[in-house]
Amino acid sequence: MPGKLDNDFGIISIDDNVIATIAGLSAMECYGIVGMASKSATEGLFELVKWENLSKGVKVYTEENRITIGLHVILQYGVKISVVAGNIIEKVKYNVENLTGLKVEKINVYVQGIRVQK
């Protein structure tokens, strides 16, 4: 069920895919993240997704205008995972709430891998 905002003029409905795209782009702005991860259908392993498919690494659950976001990420080797995850949560929450006007209840970060950047 998409997020909805009611006002004097009607209803604004924001699809979960829009929220997922905002969340994915926001996460990619954070230091220490290599990219979003998506589960491969054939092998069942997580793989890095391309920029145009960032939302594949994001799961959005909307219930009565409360949003829960799950981010599947791949981080850069050598970064402190807890700090990077905290930064991702803060950035995604801020951007989603400010751009949509909806309330984010919870953001879960799932670190699916570590990559060495060249």
pLDDT tens figures, 12-43: 888 999 999 999 999 999 999 998 998 765 56
Rounded to an integer, what is the distance from CA 23 to the centroid of its chain?
Answer: 4
Place of tokens 């391309």: 50
Euclidean distance between CA atoms 14 and 111, whole angstroms: 27
User: Average pLDDT of 94-113?
Assistant: 94
pLDDT of 65 > 90? The answer is no
pTM of the model: 0.86
Q: Give me the percent of the chain exceeding a pLDDT of 90.
A: 58
* C-alpha dist (Å) from residue 4 to 24, 65, 81, 97: 20, 6, 34, 13
pLDDT tens figures, 66-87: 899 999 999 999 999 999 999 9
User: Average pLDDT of 108-113?
Assistant: 94
- The upper half-sphere exposure of residue 97, i.e. CA atoms within 13 Å in the direction of its Cβ, equals 13
At 54, give phi and psi (nearest 5°): -55, -35
Q: What is the pLDDT of residue 103?
A: 92
Q: What's the CATH code, domain 3-115? A: 3.30.70.1350
Q: Is 56 within 8 Å of 49 (Cβ atoms)?
A: yes
